């Protein structure tokens, strides 16, 4: 291990040093400042005679007299089952006052890509207890399903609700609850101290912390640390899932802060920027994270991802949600108008999408064909939404009786189906019961997406009488 005092330049989070040997990409570096402080970094670029180092703790206090030591290895995460219940900082060091971590092994945080041949197709329904997700945009074990939100919207409340409630109902039916709950890996990037306190209070209040590993990078922590936080979280998730057989739910918030860190580093390196100043390789970088979700044939565990991103200016064409949408299997969209109406959670089901939903629903579920009920609810709600625009022009009195039924359906769908609060845990049967009750306010002949036998069995005749 060689030590150098050859720093030539400091630019933002980067330090440039001259070397006389080949230095590996991603190699871990220790920088000792003149006042004795040691900071960790990672080789970001290595060329003949010069290396660029990104410093995790920020470059404050580093000058030309600082010493640079190259450790000859890439960054690794110490992994063990004992991590469950622990709170770590964005670099993987304990901050909960507990004992030092004694790892079973140390794993490279970049991870290994899952061989496509060995991937098992995700098709096991995850019950989150949230009707707008379970009924309309179902999450499937091994899926990556992001939440598209905006500044000030309660996406954190939805994430915590999913973390508390996520189960696999097929296993519950066997009478054995063992293993049905998810271990939760929570990776926070650039969140405020207030948000961090809310998360920790909820985890502790509900007992979820016992089956969780929390990585916490706060807004006043170095931005460059945010580039390693999700990789540490996912390395831990892969170990628990594929080595220890856990079903792991990974919640990453906020991916927008992660991408801003990429842009900051790119600017410091004077890279040619891509769309809106973000690096041209951002798509590849995000894919390296998102594609670590999945199931492996012959392995019991699974990794399911629920990344959260706040769309700048609520713009879904912004590069961050745009690229995320290409890589992932759908999105859950938070709506500002629903939030202003007091709907909790304010999930807009129409622009939301789960591309794997149809493979994960139907089997073992009652209350009719889930897919058909979902399609009919979508169609009726979309019709009601269109008619709301027409009402603004011609008034409600100008609409037909059927049109008014669709308007009432849209109102009740939001108030009874989507609205449930953040502490209500609905089973899929309860969700479908509400769906049938709402569909029964429409004439039977309007239910053209559902099999007639199912209509005869589940259509609620009393609902028509109440409407009349």
> What does the pLDDT read at residue 191?
92
Predicted confidence at residue 392, as pLDDT, reads 83
Whole-number Å distance between alpha carbons of 227 and 90: 9
User: pLDDT band at 177, cuts 50/70/90?
Assistant: very low
Neighbouring-strand partners of residue 127: 167
Query: What is the pLDDT confidence band of residue 366, given thresholds at 50, 70 and 90?
Result: low
- The predicted pLDDT at position 172 comes to 42
Question: Could you give the domains of the chain?
Answer: 3-74 (2.40.10.170), 78-358 (3.40.50.12240), 370-467 (1.10.1140.10)
Task: Place 175 in a pLDDT band, splitting at 50, 70 and 90.
Answer: very low
- Per-residue pLDDT for 311 more than 80? yes
Beta partners for 3?
Answer: 69
For residue 463, what pLDDT is reported?
Answer: 63
Averaged pLDDT for residues 208-220: 92
Taking the chain, what is the end-to-end CA distance rounded to the nearest angstrom?
Answer: 83
Distance of CA 467 to the CA centre of its chain: 40
Rounded-to-integer distance, Cα 388 and Cα 435, Å: 21
The predicted model gives 355-374 an average pLDDT of: 75
Each residue's pLDDT tens digit, 145-155: 999 999 999 99
**Which whole number is the average pLDDT over 272-301?**
92
Q: What is the pLDDT of residue 467?
A: 57
**Residue 254, preceding peptide bond in cis (omega within 30° of 0):** yes
DSSP 369-382: -HHHHHHHHHHHHH
And the tokens for 93? Answer: 């060091």
pLDDT at 179: 38
Report pLDDT digits (tens) over 89-143.
Answer: 998 999 999 999 999 999 999 887 788 889 999 888 899 999 999 999 999 999 9
Q: What is the mean pLDDT of the chain?
A: 89
pLDDT category of residue 251 using cuts at 50, 70 and 90: very high
Strand 353-354 to 330-333 pairing: antiparallel
User: pLDDT at position 174, please?
Assistant: 42
**247 touches 302 (CB < 8 A):** yes
Q: Per-residue pLDDT averaged across 410-422, rounded?
A: 96
pLDDT in the model for residue 170: 56
At 111 the pLDDT is 80
**Helix 155-165, helix 193-206: angle, nearest 10:** 20
Comparing 196 with 168, the larger pLDDT belongs to 196
Rounded mean pLDDT of 418-441?
94
Question: How confident is the model over 26-32, as a mean pLDDT?
Answer: 91
pLDDT score of 437 more than 80: yes
pLDDT score, position 231:
95
- At residue 173 the predicted structure's pLDDT band, cuts being 50, 70 and 90, is very low
Only one residue has tokens 């019991």, namely 300
CA–CA distance, 262 with 285 (Å, rounded to integer): 9
Q: Are 353 and 137 in contact (CB under 8 A)?
A: yes
């Amino acid at each position: 291990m060689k030590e150098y005092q050859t720093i030539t330049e400091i630019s933002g989070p980067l330090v440039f040093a001259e070397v006389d040997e080949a230095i590996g990409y991603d190699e871990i570096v220790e920088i000792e400042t003149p006042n004795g402080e040691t900071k960790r970094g990672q080789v970001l670029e290595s060329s003949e005679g010069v290396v660029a180092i990104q410093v995790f703790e920020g470059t404050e206090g580093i000058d030309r007299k600082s010493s640079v030591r190259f450790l000859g290895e890439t960054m690794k995460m110490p992994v063990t089952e004992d991590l469950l219940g622990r709170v770590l900082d964005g670099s993987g060091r304990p901050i909960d006052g507990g004992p030092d971590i004694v790892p079973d092994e140390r794993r490279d945080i970049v991870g290994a890509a899952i061989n496509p041949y060995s991937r098992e197709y995700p098709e096991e329904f995850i019950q989150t207890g949230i009707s707008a997700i379970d009924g309309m945009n179902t999450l499937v074990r091994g899926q990556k399903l992001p939440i598209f939100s905006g500044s000030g919207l309660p996406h954190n409340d939805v994430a915590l609700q999913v973390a508390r409630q996520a189960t696999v109902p097929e296993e519950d039916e066997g009478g054995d609850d063992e293993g049905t709950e998810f271990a939760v890996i929570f990776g926070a990037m650039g969140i405020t101290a207030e948000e961090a306190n809310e998360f920790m209070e909820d985890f502790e209040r509900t007992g979820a912390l016992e089956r969780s590993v929390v990585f916490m990078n706060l807004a006043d922590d170095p931005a460059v640390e945010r580039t390693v936080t999700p990789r540490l979280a996912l390395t831990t998730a892969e170990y628990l899932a594929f080595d220890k057989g856990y079903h792991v739910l990974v919640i990453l918030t906020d991916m927008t802060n992660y991408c801003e860190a990429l842009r900051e580093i790119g600017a410091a390196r004077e890279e040619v920027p891509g769309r809106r100043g973000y690096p041209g390789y951002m798509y590849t970088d995000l894919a390296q994270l998102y594609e670590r979700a999945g199931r492996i044939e012959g392995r019991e565990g699974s990794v399911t991802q629920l990344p959260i991103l706040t769309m700048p200016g609520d713009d879904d064409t912004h590069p961050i949600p745009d690229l995320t949408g290409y890589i992932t299997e759908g999105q859950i969209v938070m709506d500002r108008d629903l939030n202003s109406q007091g709907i909790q959670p304010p999930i807009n089901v129409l622009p939301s999408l789960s591309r794997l939903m149809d493979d994960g629903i139907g089997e073992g579920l009652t209350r009719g064909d889930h897919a058909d009920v979902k399609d009919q609810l979508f169609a009726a709600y979309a019709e009601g939404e269109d008619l709301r625009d027409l009402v603004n022009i011609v008034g409600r009195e100008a609409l037909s009786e059927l049109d008014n039924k669709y308007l009432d359906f849209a109102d009740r769908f939001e108030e009874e189906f989507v609205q449930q609060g953040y502490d209500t845990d609905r089973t899929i049967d309860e969700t479908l019961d509400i769906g049938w009750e709402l569909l029964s306010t429409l004439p039977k002949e309007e239910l053209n997406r559902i099999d007639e036998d199912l209509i005869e069995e589940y259509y609620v005749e009393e609902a028509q009488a109440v409407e009349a």
